[in-house]
Homo-oligomer: A and B are copies of this chain.
Amino acid sequence: MPSGRICGLAVKDVRFPTSLEQHGSDAMHTDPDYSAAYVIIETDSGTRGFGLTFTVGKGTEIVVCAVQALRPLVLGKTLDDITADFRSFYRLLTSDGQMRWVGPEKGVIHLATAAVLNAVWDLWARAEGKPVWKLLVDMTPEQLVSCIDFRYISDALTDQEALDILRKGQESKQQREEQMMIEGYPAYTTSCAWLGYPDQQLTQLCSQALADGWTAFKVKVGADLDDDIRRCRLIRQMIGPEKILMIDANQRWDVGEAVAWVTRLSEFQPLWIEEPTSPDDILGHAHISKALAPLGIGVASGEQCHNRVMFKQFFLGRPRSMLMASKFNGVCELVQHLILFDYICVSGSLEKRMCEYVDHLHEHFKNPTIIHNAHYMPPMAPGFSSEMVESSVEKHTFPQGEVWRTVNQL
């Protein structure tokens, strides 16, 4: 079917007042209102694509402004123009001779780029009648590599090396796809232990999560050591010694402080500490990782890793077993597509792999995630699962939506 020409790109500032109940709160983001710059692209044949970038409230309007700045680069193109040379389309969005200065490939402009790219992937997958993960799984290694901009990463990964990895990933992919359809992809939950939750709420949510079959739990830490000890002890006692506990400081510490603090929490046997310090600190993460290795505690990062050049450096020194992925800053709905693709066509392994799950706001999506027994079940609707319910968008548009008119009267 003809894909049509992109004739419209709208962007909305959508915010949910989650801070009122401390959902999502951590040591650095104490009052997050889960939000998104929400992009809708439209073609003259009437098809639409939806994309978003996750934010936490104030500042979303800046991302919206940046999406508007990117609009002229997208309007007038057909989906065929874009997909025939996706690498050049990425380069077009990220390397404009004037606009790249306010990045390059980082911060607001890159969040905006991600929202636009997500919408294009959604449009593409819908045109093919497939969910995004399946679109990726069905591509040849050559097609996949043609979508990636290797600028600045060729010293770590050339397109030829990526091709080799992806060709190897084609072996038995059918089998892994069938496995995913039955079992789903393993997940862990972050929803029991946001920093702002009182102990009673922690206990209640953890108890419910155990009943629901969850086996891995993330706890927010970093604001107060005594609180952290008490909360980690509580969770560890509830889940027992075998289940997995992870901790997340959301960039709260300096390098030395991170080592000292996590050492104090080591008795609770966390699998990893996430974002112990600045997401920009490659050498600092390496130092922390080395210092915590004897305690059996890993270091996780990437949530705010701003581009492939940073990912490259975090990976260097480890075996190049992973194809570096562009950041799709997003929510569970979007991320599930990428981990499915990773398992089926890239890593081929579930060992020590889990995907975060946050149990909020799914009701605002047309095709919300489906969790069975603590596993993401592959979404089957065409697209990126990124379309939001229209009435939700309308109510939560900031600042004029109904919800915000009410909140602001409180």
Q: Which of A39-47, A53-61, A135-143, A201-209 contacts B (4 or more CB under 8 A)?
A: A53-61
- Of chain B, the residue at the smallest CB distance from A280 is B309
Residues on B with C-beta less than 8 A from A100 are: 28-29
- What are the interface flags for A317-353 relative to B under an 8 Å C-beta threshold, 1 for contact and 0 otherwise? 0000000000000000000000000000000000000
Q: If A254-B154, A307-B280 touch, does A65 touch B58 (CB 8 Å cutoff)?
A: no
Residue of B60, B107, B278 near A309 (CB, 8 A) is B278
Q: Could you tell me if A29 and B102 are in contact, using CB atoms closer than 8 angstroms?
A: no
Q: Which of A90-98, A167-175, A384-392 contacts B (4 or more CB under 8 A)?
A: A90-98
A109 within 8 A of B: yes
Interface of A: prevailing SS: loop
Residues on B with C-beta less than 8 A from A283 are: 282, 313, 316
In the bound complex, CA of A256 to CA of B153 (Å): 10
Q: Could you tell me if B107 and A102 are in contact, using CB atoms closer than 8 angstroms?
A: yes
Residue of B30, B61, B99, B280 near A69 (CB, 8 A) is B61
- Of chain B, the residue at the smallest CB distance from A65 is B65
Q: Could you tell me if A102 and B95 are in contact, using CB atoms closer than 8 angstroms?
A: no
Residues on B with C-beta less than 8 A from A59 are: 66, 69, 98-99, 101-102, 109
Residue of B29, B60, B96, B98 near A97 (CB, 8 A) is B29
- Of chain B, the residue at the smallest CB distance from A30 is B97
Q: Could you tell me if B58 and A98 are in contact, using CB atoms closer than 8 angstroms?
A: yes
Which residues in window 90-140 of A have CB below 8 A to B? Answer: 95-111
Residues on B with C-beta less than 8 A from A29 are: 97-98, 100-101
Q: Could you tell me if B31 and A98 are in contact, using CB atoms closer than 8 angstroms?
A: yes
Which residues in window 24-81 of A have CB below 8 A to B? Answer: 28-33, 55-63, 65-66, 69
Residue of B99, B104, B278, B313 near A282 (CB, 8 A) is B313
Residues on B with C-beta less than 8 A from A220 are: none
In the bound complex, CA of A207 to CA of B181 (Å): 72
Q: Could you tell me if A62 and B251 are in contact, using CB atoms closer than 8 angstroms?
A: no
- What are the interface flags for A237-272 relative to B under an 8 Å C-beta threshold, 1 for contact and 0 otherwise? 000000000000001001111000000000000000
In the bound complex, CA of A282 to CA of B152 (Å): 12
Residues on B with C-beta less than 8 A from A103 are: 107-108
In the bound complex, CA of A117 to CA of B312 (Å): 33
A287 within 8 A of B: yes
Which 4 pairs, one residue from A and one from B, show the smallest C-beta to C-beta distance?
A107-B107, A57-B98, A108-B108, A155-B255
